[in-house]
Amino acid sequence: MERGLNTKCLHLKESEGKSENYGAISFPIYQTATYAHPGVGESTGYDYSRLQNPTREHLEKIVAGLEGGTDAFALSTGMAAVTLLMDYFKPGDHFVVESDLYGGSIRLFNNVSLKNNYEFTFLNCSKDDIEAAIRPNTKAIYIETPTNPMMNVSDIAKISGIAKAHNLILIVDNTFLSPYFQNPLSLGADVVIHSGTKFLGGHNDTLAGFIVTNNEDIQERLRFLIKTTGAGLSPFDSWLIERGIKTLGIRMEKAQQNAIEIANWLKKQPVVTDVFYPGLEEHPGHEIMKKQARGFGSMITFRVDTKEHALKILSGVKMIKYAESLGGVETLITYPTTQTHADVPEEVRLKNGITPTTLRISTGIEDAKDLIFELEEVFKTL
């Protein structure tokens, strides 16, 4: 019987029934850089921790299991994961990319990847004609759904159909929903990216990134690249992320419940002009989300009537922190214009809808009444 996601967050089937590690319930941190050879020309399979580390491998197996991949790679950050993946491609390759992507990924593509002679076409993948953007040298489609920060929803299965018809690799950054709510590989994607810093780690205390795939060729090449370029996650950080994952399910459910309450509260505020939360029935991506995901997540983007009000909300919150990042147990509010998306050219930002009145909330697991009380206190001053 296929185990449920909450069980998969806690138990790795293949290491069950063995009496290794003194029966420790928590998988040990193998804090070692190197390993002794049993004899000349012999190896235990562990030579050097850039290549192999039991703690990192244990975590990778858990994440691969959650996403339904054949392999996962744990990297030092989400951006290290995207960077490693981009090394899989060759000079001259073209990519069709979601334009409302995490700002750091856009910065990487526009400022680093271009020197490898990569070409990019940025599209609103929830609306625009992807097929029309495909060229003879197109190698991959790179999407996020829902997007950061505008919460646009793309149909993964539909885009995977286009990718397969043109022999392209479909890459999905699944950070916003985590494997608890969405599994892009099961919808036809070839590669899943995660910033493990966010929901997987879940405590706003550790940076990490993941690549998950079920494509053998990509898997083999990435194993070589990670050994060669060396951005693998440290043993201690691997352990912290694994500990975070143990509570992924209950955190996702509680944060989502808080998001639903806050999204509905925001809708009723006279200063709020727009609420972008796919859990709201009127959200244009609501039906697609119901089809391809098991939840709507805990990210809410909203707009207020003036920039002054947006800034006043940021400076007025106390328990809710004005900070970048998302997916942790603490509720955070951010200002994409000057934070996560500061390096995205202004005209692109505005075209995507990231106006100076746009704010983004990542709900944590506090009591909803306390979050709403805090927002009420701040909104009273506007």
Nearest to 147 by CA among 171, 110, 174: 174
State the catalytic residue, choosing from 8, 139, 198, 251: 198
Rounded CA gap, 97 and 117, in Å? 16
C-beta of 92 vs 230, nearer to ligand PLP: 230
- Give the one residue of 99, 160, 195, 352 binding ligand PLP; rule: CB under 6 A: 195
Q: What are phi and psi of 276, to 5 degrees?
A: -110, 95
State the catalytic residue, choosing from 30, 88, 102, 142: 102
- Give the one residue of 113, 138, 197, 362 binding ligand PLP; rule: CB under 6 A: 197
State the catalytic residue, choosing from 50, 246, 307, 351: 50
Cis-peptide into 54, omega within 30 deg: no
**146 CB neighbour count, 10 Å cutoff:** 27
Please tell me what DSSP assigns to residue 27. Answer: P
* CA dist list (Å): 329 to 4, 79, 169, 349, 353: 23, 22, 34, 28, 28
8 A C-beta contact, residue 49 and residue 227: no
Could you tell me which residues are beta bridge partners of residue 275? 302
Compute the least distance from the CB of residue 192 to ligand PLP, in Å: 11
- Contact range with ligand PLP by CB under 6 A, out of 170-178, 219-227, 247-255, 279-287: 170-178
- Contact range with ligand PLP by CB under 6 A, out of 7-15, 171-179, 314-322, 351-359: 171-179
**Residue 207 near ligand PLP by CB under 6 A:** yes
- Contact range with ligand PLP by CB under 6 A, out of 29-37, 46-54, 99-107, 314-322: 99-107
User: Structure tokens of 30?
Assistant: 């193998």
Compute the least distance from the CB of residue 82 to ligand PLP, in Å: 7
Rounded CA gap, 272 and 69, in Å? 41
Q: What are phi and psi of 73, to 5 degrees?
A: -125, 125
- Cα 295 to chain centroid distance, Å, stands at 15
- Give the one residue of 67, 98, 155, 173 binding ligand PLP; rule: CB under 6 A: 173
Q: Does the active-site annotation cover 22? A: no
Compute the least distance from the CB of residue 345 to ligand PLP, in Å: 19
Q: Does the active-site annotation cover 223? A: no
Name which of residues 175 to 194 contact ligand PLP (CB under 6 A): 175-176
| Site mask for ligand PLP (CB under 6 A), range 58-77, x = bound | -------------------x
Residue nearest to ligand PLP (CB): 78
| Collapsed DSSP state (helix, strand, coil) of residue 153 | coil
State the catalytic residue, choosing from 71, 100, 155, 173: 173
Name which of residues 123 to 162 contact ligand PLP (CB under 6 A): 144, 148
Q: Does the active-site annotation cover 277? A: no
C-beta of 35 vs 362, nearer to ligand PLP: 362
Compute the least distance from the CB of residue 221 to ligand PLP, in Å: 21
C-beta of 104 vs 279, nearer to ligand PLP: 104
Name which of residues 31 to 60 contact ligand PLP (CB under 6 A): none
**Residue 249 near ligand PLP by CB under 6 A:** no
| Collapsed DSSP state (helix, strand, coil) of residue 380 | helix
Instruction: Dump the DSSP string for 184-235.
Output: GGGGT-SEEEEETTTTTT-SSS---EEEEE--HHHHHHHHHHHHHH--BPPH
- Contact range with ligand PLP by CB under 6 A, out of 37-45, 102-110, 217-225, 232-240: 102-110
**Residue 102 near ligand PLP by CB under 6 A:** yes
Q: What angle do CA 265, 266, 269 make, to 5 degrees?
A: 95
**Residue 104 near ligand PLP by CB under 6 A:** yes
Q: How many residues bind ligand PLP (CB under 6 A)?
A: 16
Nearest to 147 by CA among 293, 263, 301, 274: 301
Nearest to 49 by CA among 30, 27, 67: 30
8 A C-beta contact, residue 263 and residue 224: no
Q: Does the active-site annotation cover 118? A: no
**Residue 79 near ligand PLP by CB under 6 A:** yes
Q: What are phi and psi of 308, to 5 degrees?
A: -60, -45
List, by residue number, the catalytic residues: 50, 102, 173, 198
Give residues in contact with ligand PLP (CB under 6 A). Answer: 77-79, 102, 104-105, 144, 148, 173, 175-176, 195, 197-198, 207, 209
